[in-house]
Amino acid sequence: MSLEKVILVTGGSGLVGKAIEWVIENDNGKYGKQDGEKWIFLTSKDGDLRSAEATRTVFEKYKPTHVIHLAALVGGLFKNMKYKLDFLRDNLLINDNVLHTAHEHKVKKVVSCLSTCVFPDKTAYPIDETMIHNGPPHESNFGYAYAKRLIDTQNKAYYDQFGDNFTSVIPTNVFGPHDNYDLQDSHVIPGLLHKCYLAKKDQTPFVVAGTGKPLRQFIYSRDLAKLFIWVLREYKEIDPIILSVGEKDEVSIKDVANAIVKAVDFKGDYTFDTTKPDGQYKKTASNAKLMKYLPDFQFTPFEVAVKESADWFIKNYDKARTGNH
């Protein structure tokens, strides 16, 4: 019997790719590997997806029937502001190559990963899936945001013209094992985790930038992985779906810092540097659509997820992406 499903995951060595791999291998329930499924996790070493030729070679080698498309040129705020054209062009090329090659290979389904930065800068809250194209994204990362937004446009065009089953998901702030912990260029949780770990090791104060008041919805990478697997197997729409904890589960940056201090068992001096800017106060997203489909989905409690993430980071410090090795 031939395998009926060959699932190719682009960006397989990143935060979300590693989480999907972990769930496929470790979940004994409905999210784990099923009979007749072969999972392939690509890394950038397998081929440069900015090149149409390299992308074709990858598809010819693995002959996927399904694709989870996570690969992207990503960076923190500073990089996004400085290299808007690079972020726009590289991501347009990657997305166009993956989607068009999937189309040519008659792939049955593609699930691409967008980002909450695709939403308009000026918007009403909570944000939902219908608002993506309602106005320009935030100035700071419009290159990346427009490239991601266009995946949704392409999905609809492939469906309208050819009936291709290409869809996308929009996760809120993701964190977990295998994150990027670079102190200059990481997101808030891995950045603070790394800072707190160093403060404990060097017996120096742990200082958090800003007031700690802004609110964010964080999703644990392993929860997100389960939802990605569900979308691949069950979700029938071309329109995107927000994958997030509920509005009531928003946490403040202060809550985040407290959870990290606890997880790392940091006993030193811990303060907020209120001279530093806070960034956007909130970016609340609605998970009502997801809850309509999966009303009983159990999210990992935030403190438990932070503890698991911290334990992984400390154990794997020497090989984690920290920017200094």
Long-range contacts at 317-321 (CB < 8 A, ≥ 24 apart): 317/197, 320/178, 320/179, 320/181, 321/178, 321/179, 321/180, 321/181, 321/182
| Residue 82 burial (C-beta neighbours within 10 Å; 0-12, 13-18, 19+) | exposed
Residue 193 lies in a domain: no
pLDDT at res. 149 = 97
Q: Which residues form the domain of 161?
A: 5-176+218-246
55: in domain: yes
Q: For residue 79, what is the domain's CATH number?
A: 3.40.50.720
Q: Are strands 166-171 and 241-243 parallel, antiparallel or unpaired?
A: parallel
Q: Does residue 1 surpass a pLDDT of 80?
A: no
The residues, ordered by sequence, that sit 6+ positions from 160 with a Cβ below 8 Å of its Cβ are none
State residue 241's pLDDT score. Answer: 98
> What is the overall mean pLDDT for the chain?
94
* From 31, 125, 144, 235, active-site residue: 144
Query: CB count, 10 Å around CB of 1?
Result: 5
More confident residue, 278 or 236: 236
- Distance between CA atoms of 36 and 23, rounded to whole angstroms? 17
- pLDDT value, residue 182: 87
Q: What is the distance between the alpha carbons of residues 288 and 245, in angstroms, rounded to a whole number? A: 10
* 268 inside domain: no
pLDDT score, position 37:
95
> When comparing pLDDT for 78 and 191, which is higher?
191
Total domains in the fold of the chain? 1
Whether 212 is in a domain gets the answer no
Does a structural domain hold residue 64? yes
Mean pLDDT calculated for residue range 236-242: 98
Q: How far apart are CA 47 and CA 163, in angstroms?
A: 28
- Asked if residue 269 is part of any domain, the answer here is no
Mean pLDDT of 52-67: 98
Q: For residue 286, is it within any domain?
A: no
* CA dist 39 → 65, 70, 222, 227 (Å): 11, 14, 17, 16
The DSSP output letter for 246 is -
Question: Is 144 noted as a catalytic residue in this protein?
Answer: yes
Give tens-digit pLDDT for 135-146: 999 888 889 999
Task: Establish if 90 belongs to a structural domain.
Answer: yes
Q: Is the pLDDT confidence value at 2 over 70?
A: no
267 has pLDDT over 90: yes
